[in-house]
Structure 1
């Protein structure tokens, strides 16, 4: 793997995944104090991102699992999860911190994976032409660099969620911020993807 491929892969990953750090920090904050939450968030992030890469690699080789018209509707996944989280926040708005902690088990891996995959639907469109022109060796280089950087992204999200000032803010408002961010991501994917262009 040559240095130019590594440099291009680092730049491409950073540009297409910058928003994931905030989402990861919110998931880590939601799971704070719950055993295994860090592992579930990391696993979910890897599952979702591996699914993105699998679709992009297959499409680069000419196989398409997702028709182009379907990609904007991936926004329904974070939208539904955000609405569900908002409903839970509303139902438990009068709970004490202890009751909230007992009731909340933190994020599930498949929820994190669904949000990651839906949020990365536009990444597929960027990755496919890059992978197709890179050839099999270059594509493998991109995938390896992306998976390594994903670990760094997960660590950054966890780092932000555990900084005292940020952790305090997320503990106070994270139960409201997470649904808002998920709903916003879902609507953005739907609107920017043209889901409402009839």
Structure 2
């Protein structure tokens, strides 16, 4: 995997998981033991990755001319997220209250539906292994960032305020790039 591909993987992970930083920060801020948050995040993200890989592998049976049309998925998700962001405001009081490993994993998986929709067309059109390795390394970085954010009220305010704008914009961009790559 060349440096440009690593950069794309980092950008894709960051864009699709910006909301996870807030969730992780909220778990840490509520006093959930760090090992439970980290293990739960890895279990939940591992499930997201497994679903996306399985779906992308089955998409590999599609004719090559159809693959760019998978970009409609992140584009639609981005437009949906933009619509929701426009209609509602973020509410930091909706943080999960559970404190177990499986609860963190379930929240991560439930929050990762949009990730699956974005990862499938990328995996189907570019490859899986390099992205998966970068993503799994970045889960640890995300956990550390979530812990950092939990101890910085100004950072939490910033992510809560602008995360809802960044996510739709990046999803729409990813969708357009996949659609035009064919």
Q: TM-score range by the shorter chain?
A: 0.5 to 0.7
Q: Say whether 1:47 aligns with 2:36.
A: no
**TM-score between both structures, scaled by the size of structure 1:** 0.57
**Structure 1 segments (4+ residues) deviating >3 Å:** 82-85
Q: Where does 1:172-183 land on structure 2 (aligned, <5 Å)?
A: none
CA–CA distance in structure 1, aligned partners of residues 140 and 109 of structure 2:
16
1:135-174 per-position Cα deviation (integer Å, ceiling 9, x unaligned): 3xxx1000011111111110011112134x57xx9xxxxx
The aligned counterpart of 1:72 is: none
The aligned counterpart of 2:103 is: 111
Shift in CA distance, 62/155, structure 1 to aligned 2, threshold 3 Å: same
The aligned counterpart of 2:123 is: 131
What is the CA-CA distance between 1:132 and the residue it aligns to? 0.7
CA–CA distance in structure 2, aligned partners of residues 83 and 16 of structure 1:
18
CA–CA distance in structure 1, aligned partners of residues 6 and 51 of structure 2:
21
The aligned counterpart of 2:137 is: 148
The aligned counterpart of 1:6 is: 6
What is the CA-CA distance between 1:83 and the residue it aligns to? 9.8
Retained in 1: the 8 A contact 2:28–2:150?
Answer: yes
The aligned counterpart of 2:58 is: 62
**TM-score between both structures, scaled by the size of structure 2:** 0.62
Retained in 1: the 8 A contact 2:96–2:107?
Answer: no
Structure possessing the higher radius of gyration over alpha carbons: 1
Shift in CA distance, 84/12, structure 1 to aligned 2, threshold 3 Å: closer
Shift in CA distance, 125/83, structure 1 to aligned 2, threshold 3 Å: closer
Give the root-mean-square deviation of aligned CA atoms.
2.5
CA–CA distance in structure 2, aligned partners of residues 26 and 7 of structure 1:
28
The aligned counterpart of 1:185 is: none
CA–CA distance in structure 2, aligned partners of residues 157 and 125 of structure 1:
24
1:10-29 per-position Cα deviation (integer Å, ceiling 9, x unaligned): 11011110011111010001
Retained in 1: the 8 A contact 2:49–2:116?
Answer: yes
